[in-house]
Amino acid sequence: MLDIRVEKTTSPKPIPDKDNPLVFGTIFTDHMFVMDYEEGKGWYDPRIVPYAPISLEPSAMVFHYGQEMFEGLKAYKTEDGRTLLFRPDKNIERANNSNRRLCIPELNPEDFLQAIKAVVKMDEAWIPTKEGTSLYIRPFVIATDPFLGVRPSNTYKFMIILSPVGAYYPEGLNPVKIWIEDEYVRAVKGGIGEAKTGGNYVASLASQVKAHDEGYSQVLWLDGVHRKYIEEVGAMNIFFKINGTVVTPKLNGSILPGVTRNSCIALCREWGLPVEERQISVDEILEAAKSGAMEEVWGTGTAAVISPVGALRFEEEVMQIQDGGIGPVSHKLYDTVTGIQTGKIDDFMNWTVE
Ligand code: PMP
């Protein structure tokens, strides 16, 4: 149990009004959670303080060797005014898996949850209530030793910042166009692909820029060894429904284990749909799309929850999926997950935390 010191802001910012589009990641609330770490001392001085710039030495290790971990989850307001977190235990577990891979000291899971709850409660008035909106929660740890040698840092800062975000699809679910990357790779087994850390995202930028320039919204990565097996999308895991079976790449060490992915597998199984977690080659996808066996394709992630995929491009071929429309399983998953998250439907999976 953390003894969290609280320093309230003396100059609160105006809370965005109902019509603000709340563009993702642009607005931050009044407060943040901070806790420090020192080798031998452990995590210390948990506090909620006004959201403000922090001061670090230019030599702080995070700037040079990227030793950092981050997470992303959301808080939702229900119609009866309760605040719900969606499976925070899963994000906390993944954060500590990332920490271990990145030689960052682990965080006590109960303390982590207490910190999230405390800072969300402090800025509860910032949680938007309009359909599809939420409060995005960004916990992260950075290495702060002022040192230019390459080794794990001895000091760290753990912070949680909060950002109200608008509906991902203000006009309703909208299929996205995906670019299957055949030049760059994101991660390899044995690397850091399954950790949530900045390095994986900077590795993706060149490809993302190329795809955007061609009119595609996200990149689908192939494996780094054979360059033929499907891995995941820029910020989503990927699902295919082929001949009545739901198929998604097996977690192999280079794919981020998404919380939404895990939830969708559980729901499909609950509904009696066959689900396979296995290797899927890009050739299998091309063939299924050509023969008409490909029924649906969708991505899963905290930001959009479900993103139906309307088109997939590989080299010079463009595959149209569902005639660019939205399939029934994608739709049912979207309605069910968002319904549970916002308290609109009974939480029969026991996933929300008040
Ligand atoms: N893959 C990557 C690379 C991601 O950044 C994300 C977003 N966190 C996901 C998958 C989906 O994970 P989640 O469902 O936990 O948001």
| Helices and strands (H, E) in the chain, number of each type | 8, 18
Write down the pLDDT at residue 325: 78
Query: How far apart (Å, rounded) are the C-alpha atoms in residues 297 and 39?
Result: 47
Query: How far apart (Å, rounded) are the C-alpha atoms in residues 110 and 117?
Result: 11
Query: Cα of 209 to ligand 1 centre, how many Å?
Result: 19
Q: What is the pTM assigned to this prediction? A: 0.97
Q: How far is CA 287 from CA 224, 281, 317, in A?
A: 22, 10, 12
3-state class (DSSP) for residue 225: coil
Pocket test for ligand 1, best of 73, 186, 236 (most atoms within 8 A of CB): 236
Token pair belonging to 45: 């001085």
CA dihedral 259, 260, 263, 265 (to 10 degrees): -110
Write down the pLDDT at residue 174: 85
Closest C-alpha residue for ligand 1 atom 7: 235
Ligand 1 within 6 A of CB of 237:
yes
Write down the pLDDT at residue 283: 97
Query: Cα of 61 to ligand 1 centre, how many Å?
Result: 25
Per-residue pLDDT tens listing for the chain (354 residues): 999 999 999 999 999 999 999 999 999 999 999 999 999 999 999 999 999 999 999 999 999 999 999 999 999 999 999 999 999 999 999 999 999 999 999 999 999 999 999 999 999 999 999 999 999 999 999 999 999 999 999 999 999 999 999 988 777 788 999 999 999 999 999 999 999 999 999 999 999 999 999 999 999 999 999 999 999 998 999 999 999 999 999 999 999 999 999 999 999 999 999 999 999 999 999 999 999 999 999 999 999 999 999 999 999 999 999 777 789 999 999 999 999 999 999 999 999 999
3-state class (DSSP) for residue 353: strand
Ligand 1 within 6 A of CB of 256:
yes
Name the residue with tokens 């080798």.
39
Closest C-alpha among 45, 49, 51 to residue 2: 45
Query: How far apart (Å, rounded) are the C-alpha atoms in residues 192 and 185?
Result: 13
For 86-126, give the DSSP string. Answer: ESHHHHHHHHHHHHHHTTPPP--HHHHHHHHHHHHHHTGGG
Token pair belonging to 236: 């989503």
Write down the pLDDT at residue 257: 98
For 279-332, give the DSSP string. Answer: --BHHHHHHHHHHT-EEEEEEEETTTEEEEEEEEEETTEEEE-GGGS--HHHHH
Ligand 1 within 6 A of CB of 235:
yes
Closest C-alpha residue for ligand 1 atom 10: 236
Query: How far apart (Å, rounded) are the C-alpha atoms in residues 126 and 42?
Result: 32
Closest C-alpha among 245, 263, 242 to residue 322: 242
Write down the pLDDT at residue 2: 98
Query: Cα of 25 to ligand 1 centre, how many Å?
Result: 16
Query: How far apart (Å, rounded) are the C-alpha atoms in residues 37 and 101?
Result: 18
Token pair belonging to 218: 């996200």
| Number of neighbouring beta carbons within 10 Å of residue 278 | 9
